[in-house]
A and B are shown apart, each in its own frame.
Chain A
């Protein structure tokens, strides 16, 4: 099924709702076209294209609701799916936390769709990969990478008059280049809504340079070091804070945002005062949807301001119980940075470790948000403002909360992609003191 226009989606959803006999009915419609190429050992390994569409109907009687779906769009099928959701609602147990549907909402016009990305051809994908492969081959290095693009639309309408529509495009690219002898490895990742901004050649050059420079790594003692974390490394640590902003968990006493004696850290200074984190669906560098899955508007929200916890996210149920605005969690997060480039941060560092990326991040203790993981694909020792030599990878045990209290400097913000969640962020490189490396790894 092609990407439906706003008018087409409106007409289809209106028709589905016309079949409803329940107290409340909500219909979600969405479809995606996605394509990808994966390569390794300087050669394409897999490549594919997938199209999917779905229509989801939720019907409710009182606090009992039922959900049914279909991917056929003739009138009989549409009526059948509504009837089925109603039957399921009648059979469902009552959910005391069920919230009545939202009425009409006002949404900002989203800026998530770029025609050039939607118009991608197999040849363009293949050209972008060919450009990347050529860089690695010229350097007698070995490339492994992944390019994917998605074009999609989503729409929803309910019996209380709510209607929302959005189209979006996205492309993520990541590249690992290894030296032929396997002793050096480098990495770069990029994410954009607009595929014309993607320069696979330049990203591969960065990864190649890191690979070549990271061979001959020396072992240095684990311990506490000043580190410069590139944005890809910052992303995987900070997103544990972004994912953990839920008010209910904090109110219940089982979050790093809970306080001794009860209550939460909302309104308290928790991090260095230079830490400002927010989300903004209309940021031109990181546009996201202007509404979320249950129809609430996504607006610009400050989460951390001058180190103070400014807002927490709420389900509609928990917000009503607490008598506060039901702010949904962020789709993408933005951290304010400084003016210095990565090179300038390095130049101002007497002794430290440059970290290209971090890998296999797992929670060790949800109470302190202690995380563990390892450096990977380009770890270098800095002395007197210069990269001196590559060093062997470390395992770290560190909490992003402790880390953002040990902040030395913030660099210039750039868009990056989390290798753990695939979510895009706008983040600066960070210089952090006393970052805890607990053991050495032989991995390259």
Chain B
């Protein structure tokens, strides 16, 4: 599905322009079908057909992914339900190495002949293109796991919750926002279930069940006289959770200038605050451009981590595989080899973790059958590692992949995708108030907004949802027209304080885009509230 189709589907118009593109979502289905599953022994039989067909045609390695991708969207605006969509995408992708090169073919016809034909096509493509190879594929060794399974540890399967409960929630959210002063509100529940089966010629047969949820809203407040409008988006985070994410509990809230949410989300409360705050934004002071100390909330900082640490430490970008699309990376191999590249201040410890409970990227095994784990990326400010998959491991002289391979659909070719990349909380006991109290001239930023970074990940610009001016250790009012610009290395070296683990929260993206043809992946980034000194802030207000 293209972004334009999504806008059509959701009826979101301008509000949807805040969302990145969404890929092919699949075919609409009856919601009850989402609760059906495909028998694992049938999946094994189908996988064996492909494995055998590819081997007989000369493949030296084959992996098969049988995927059933389920999505449910509930879309409302104000007092209306605009759309309820249930989709399913079911099929098989076969990837092979033949004559030293990769080949891939996919089919949604899962009879024996169609599966064998897809496998043969993959081998034919690999052989045809092998003449264009500069070096053969080198796969890190991977033992077969036999028949194993992994399930996301959810409490409540979103697809089991009746549509009516979801509709009622969203209409109550909209009502709360409108009563608090919003002129328009669009609210959406996205729910995802990936039922993935992986088999390879290494002897793995891996069945996995992955769940994700993202409740969100977009609120607009208009000043008719001036024609000005302001928006305030939800402070929720997409999560690798079931519907329990929406069962708010007092212990999961952080009370401050606006409620912040940790692991559970009170959507109605956030909408009520958002309705008021959209009105406050209209009246807020336009920021004076200059240097400010920034206090960045995890609901904002996740995106800066994603863009400035997550992407430049993807080894395929470092090596040039993404040069034609997303670009390369300033974190070149010589910087890693030197073991002293000063990525950030000594406080900065950033780690990759494919297992974190509740995170979007958590799985038992990646999409090439590697068991997932965690590792350091930045240690005491120094670049110490990257994110790799099987055909890259030898470049870092690793004897195994780090398990970063993912495809967004059975019809997509798996490739290196970002693990959950997170900033370690500070070791000293520090609350959000402690972060603010010593700032003379600063801005406290909550929520993610506009984001842009160059193709080697040096220069970036970020906006947010809420901006509060800090003077002499106190919040003195709201600001608008704020964006900060910096250079990745300079920015992370200006990190002077990180709140402790009590404040640690996950943010994330449902739709991180990469590759050609474009694919999305869902990934989380954790942090505690963090301070950066002397960052350049610009004023983004214009008249047309």
Contact = CB atoms under 8 A, between A and B. Distances in A.
Interface in B1-38: 2-5, 7-8, 11, 13-14, 17-18, 21, 27-30
B517 A258 contact: no
A422 B485 CA distance: 28
Contacts of B228: 260, 367
Interface stretch (B194-202, B342-350, B452-460, B466-474): B452-460
Interface stretch (A141-149, A213-221, A426-434): A141-149
A372 interface: yes
Contact of A244 (B5, B14, B543): B14
Contact of B327 (A93, A368, A443): A443
B225 interface: yes
A246 to B, nearest CB: 5
Interface stretch (B53-61, B99-107, B146-154, B499-507): B99-107
Nearest to A444: B456
Interface residues of A, number: 102
Which residue, of B2, B103, B135, B459, has the highest number of chain A Cβ atoms within 10 A? B459
Which residue, of A36, A315, A444, has the highest number of chain B Cβ atoms within 10 A? A444
B374 to A, nearest CB: 27
A146 B82 contact: no
B338 interface: no
Interface in A421-443: 421-422, 438-443
Given A253-B222, A370-B540, A122 B13 contact: no
A53 B456 CA distance: 39
Nearest to B229: A254
A256 B454 contact: no
B132 A360 contact: no
Given A53-B108, A68-B28, A243-B17, A364 B454 contact: no
B107 A51 contact: yes
B454 A175 contact: no
A372 B30 contact: no
Interface stretch (B260-268, B318-326, B375-383, B522-530): B318-326
B227 A253 contact: yes
A76 B228 CA distance: 56
Interface in B94-122: 101-109, 121-122
B397 interface: no
A344 interface: no
Given A40-B322, A44-B132, A441-B459, A364 B483 contact: yes
Contacts of B18: 363
A397 B454 contact: no
A51 B122 CA distance: 13
Interface string B477-491: 000010101010000
A96 B132 contact: no
Contact of A260 (B133, B184, B225, B461): B225
A223 interface: no
A349 to B, nearest CB: 25
Interface of A: 36-54, 56, 67-71, 84, 87-88, 92-93, 95-97, 122-123, 126, 129-130, 133, 142, 144-146, 148, 174-176, 178, 182, 185, 187, 240, 243-244, 246, 248-249, 252-256, 258-262, 293, 315, 329, 359-370, 372-374, 376, 393, 395, 397, 399, 401-402, 419, 421-422, 438-444
Listed from nearest, the 5 A-B pairs whose CB atoms lie closest are A260-B227, A48-B104, A441-B459, A144-B323, A443-B456
15 contacts: A46-B104, A50-B411, A68-B30, A93-B81, A95-B82, A123-B128, A261-B225, A363-B17, A369-B544, A372-B450, A374-B452, A374-B454, A395-B452, A438-B485, A441-B459
Given A40-B319, A52-B108, A401-B544, 19 more contacts: A41-B134, A47-B102, A49-B105, A49-B125, A56-B28, A122-B129, A146-B325, A176-B323, A178-B323, A258-B229, A259-B227, A293-B5, A315-B11, A360-B454, A439-B459, A440-B459, A441-B459, A443-B455, A444-B456
